[in-house]
Amino acid sequence: MSESPITVTVKLFAAYQEAYGVPELVLEFPVATPIAAVLERLIAEHPELAQWRDLTRFGINLEFVEPNTLLQDGDEVVLIPPVSGG
């Protein structure tokens, strides 16, 4: 018997929000999925986001994490691309 998928909320900022036109997504992933897979899924759906692949930082539940950090059901994920401002 396979495990049920986990559900995470992905908060979108800057280029990610522009690509999707919404402030957040609710996505399902298999158990033991690393947070980097969220970014890869978004890039697969919007290839123009690939330019941010190596510059994006990851956060889970308001803490910065490494790309290999595993997602848990109910996590709030943020992908933080570089931003500029004045």
Residue 45 belongs to domain with CATH number: 3.10.20.30
Give the pLDDT score at 85.
58
Over range 19-45, report the average pLDDT. 97
Tell me whether strands 57-60 and 24-29 are parallel, antiparallel or unpaired.
unpaired
Structural domain harbouring 10: 6-65
Pairwise CA distance, residues 65 & 71, whole Å = 11
In a domain, 79, yes or no: no
Give the pLDDT score at 84.
65
Edge-to-edge strand ranges of the sheet holding 76-80 = 24-29, 6-11, 76-80, 57-60, 63-65
In a domain, 59, yes or no: yes
In a domain, 32, yes or no: yes
In a domain, 78, yes or no: no
Give the pLDDT score at 67.
96
Give the pLDDT score at 58.
96
Domains of the chain: total: 1
Over range 49-62, report the average pLDDT. 95
Confidence of residue 79 (pLDDT cuts 50, 70, 90): very high
